[in-house]
Amino acid sequence: MNEELSLKLQAYADGELTERETREIAGLLAKDTDARALVAELKNTRGALAGFEAEIKLPESREFYWSKIEREIRRLEKPEVSHPETSRFAAWRRFLVPAGALAVLGLLGFLMFPRPHGPSVIASAESEFTLADSGAFTYRDYANGTTLVWLSYPAENEFTDTDSEDTLD
C-alpha cells in the first residue's frame, strides 16, 4: 500500500473527504482487506486518544491567552538598549585592561631577566682591535664566558736579536 492511499484512508476515517472520494474509498474497502484493517486501526487509535484528552478551561478567551504568550515572546526577543556613556566606558575598559596587563608583563620581563654586559647587547660574541697596539686582537664570547687575546708581533725586533738564555733557539 502506498503512502498516498494511506493518507486517503486516514482522511476517510476522520471524515474529511468529499462525497465522491468517500464513495471511491468505500468501493476500495469492499475489495481490499488491508485497507479495511488500516481504517479499523486508525479509528481505534483515534478513539483511544480521544479518551485521554483533558478539557482545559482558561480564565480568559483563547485569543487573549495566546496574545499574552505572543507579547511575552516579543518582549524577550527585543535587545536591551544600553546607555551610550556605559558603552564608551566599557569599550575603553576592554582596551585598557589587556594593554595594562601587557605593560606590566613587559616591565616584569625587563626587570627579571639578566641582560648581557658590555657594549654589544645583540651579539653574543664580539671582536675588537686595540687601536694603541695594532698587533693585538681580542675576541670575547659572552655566551661561554671566554676571552682570547691574539698577539701578532713580527719575529724580527729588538728583543729577538739578543741572545738570551731564556729563549729557545
Q: Is 22 exposed, middle or buried (0-12, 13-18, 19+ CB in 10 A)?
A: middle
Q: Bigger pLDDT: 125 or 15?
A: 15
Q: Which of 55, 54, 50 is nearest to 13 (CA)?
A: 50
Per-position b or e across 35-60, b if 16+ CB within 10 A of its CB = beebbeebeeeeeeeeeeeeeeeeee
- For residue range 64-107, list pLDDT tens digits in order: 888 999 999 998 887 766 655 567 778 888 888 899 999 999 88
User: Residues 63-73: pLDDT tens digits?
Assistant: 888 899 999 99
| Residue type for position 134 | S
Number of residues in the chain? 169
- For the chain, the structural domain boundaries read 3-52, 125-159
Residue of 113, 117, 115 lying closest to 126 (CA atoms): 117
